[in-house]
Amino acid sequence: MSTQPESPAAYKKLLRRAREIALATSAASALTWDQDTYMPPKSLPYRAEQLAWLSGHAHRRFIARQVGDWMVECEQLGWAPDSAPAGNLREWRHQYNRATKVPPRLVEKMERIRAHAREAWRLAREQSNFALFKPHLDKILALTRQMADGWGYAESPYDALVEGYEPGATAAQLRLLFSELRPAIASVLPPAAARSAAVPADVLQGQYPVAAQQAFNRKVAQAIGFDFEAGRIDTTTHPFCSTLGAGDCRLTTRYVETDFVQSLYSVLHEAGHGLYEQGLPPEDFGTPNGTAVSLAIHESQSRLWENHVGRGPAFWEHWHPVACEFFPGLKKLSPALITAAVNRVGPSFIRVEADQVTYDLHILLRFEIEVSLVEGTLKTADMPAYWNEQFEKMLGLKVAKDADGCLQDIHWSIGLIGYFPTYTLGNLNAAQLMRRAAEENPGLAGELARGEYAPLRSWLREKIHRHGSRHNPRELIRLATGEPTGIRDHVDYLRAKFVG
């Protein structure tokens, strides 16, 4: 049997269909990005219809019977398992089997609800009033359960949801992994917080004009390799990265004039996502081999650049003189003090502002709430109080308002239920990748100290980015690091950095 057969007509048809669908989905991404940044409020009803039509059209084109026939024909051929066509076919088959179980009308209905829910969430967050968002969350949960029932699952409906973000993961597997991680974090937190107590919480408070933050953030993002000829940074309520098409990757952040750290680290985080998107094979855009393989792999890239690079002492040794040009008030602070300040450990309310030690506790809380909501053991009306109760148990803080609690994240308003665990999986993967990168390049620490980011970026391109979805996420991380995702490297990193 040949391992490199000629591409049959059926495979070429699949490629054409995939690229046609990508035109519709990328157009929808552009409309969604516009909704999150510049869209006038009165256009919401029509925007919801636009997004519903585009999603329904793409869904119908993909689940068409001839698409299944083309796949069957191609699956009879003898491509090598790690070849580009085999990778595409594996992912297409997985997606097709799921997509055909959900009718287009349900997809369209979800898009309409998502469009309205994200606007309701913004208003509810501004007013710190969960009641404004609850009816929309109820609708999203009802449709999400319908989709989970359609996709099917062995144990929990949550399994069908997380499958869409991290193929192969289940609620039971995640609970087991997180049950190992939680006590490890609990052992690191007290000494790490005690060590940080000497650093004043307000040491970085000052006046940082938005224009100066924008200029500095752009300089940093460009230095680590983000291509501004193929992307841009804009302002929104909740930071995100979105690819609108080939050569068009958008980052967003938010600004606080008294705290430049929030925007800087959200830009580093989103630029990590952006580097992954820009590192995917451009010729394969619209196909699985030109698409990121999973959210846990994606989050490994963002968490790596944000934390392992951006919060390391080498970062501020290099960037301190440049930062002082934009923010003269930093001249009175040493690089070591700034490093200590951006790594200060202590419980806080907002996930995206959490330190590296407590961050995963924020994720574990959201994971348990998501599972309970989907499985029906927690009602939406009871969710804010449950959040507050569990948050106090985990982090010792009383939540005084919904904006600091269950309304702080956009994810549930746009139907991303099952996404949150991938942040912690991303932390675990990031630690493994950095450990392996340092093993294979003993000069890495010196390069980062000199602000030379190309070697690390090139290593990630070789090990992660260029593969797209050719390998499943578990196999990709094993190939890149030599072992499956686990807690050891992440916990060792936290202990070495925050406890000593």
Catalytic positions are: 270
Cβ of 258: how many Cβ atoms within 10 Å? 11
3-state secondary structure the chain: CCCCCCCCHHHHHHHHHHHHHHHHHHHHHHHHHHHHHCCCHHHHHHHHHHHHHHHHHHHHHHHCHHHHHHHHHHHCCCCCCCCHHHHHHHHHHHHHHHHCCCCHHHHHHHHHHHHHHHHHHHHHHHHCCHHHHHHHHHHHHHHHHHHHHHHCCCCCHHHHHHCCCCCCCCHHHHHHHHHHHHHHHHHHHHHHHHHHCCCCCCCCCCCCCHHHHHHHHHHHHHHHCCCCCCEEEEECCCCCEEEEECCEEEEEECCECCEHHHHHHHHHHHHHHHHHHHHCCHHHCCCHHHCCCCHHHHHHHHHHHHHHHCCCHHHHHHHHHHHHHHCHHHHHCCHHHHHHHHCCCCCCCCHHHCCCCCHHHHHHHHHHHHHHHHHCCCCHHHHHHHHHHHHHHHHCCCCCCHHHCCCCCCHHHHCCCCCCHHHHHHHHHHHHHHHHHHHHCCCHHHHHHCCCCHHHHHHHHHHCHHHCCCCCHHHHHHHHHCCCCCCHHHHHHHHHHHCC
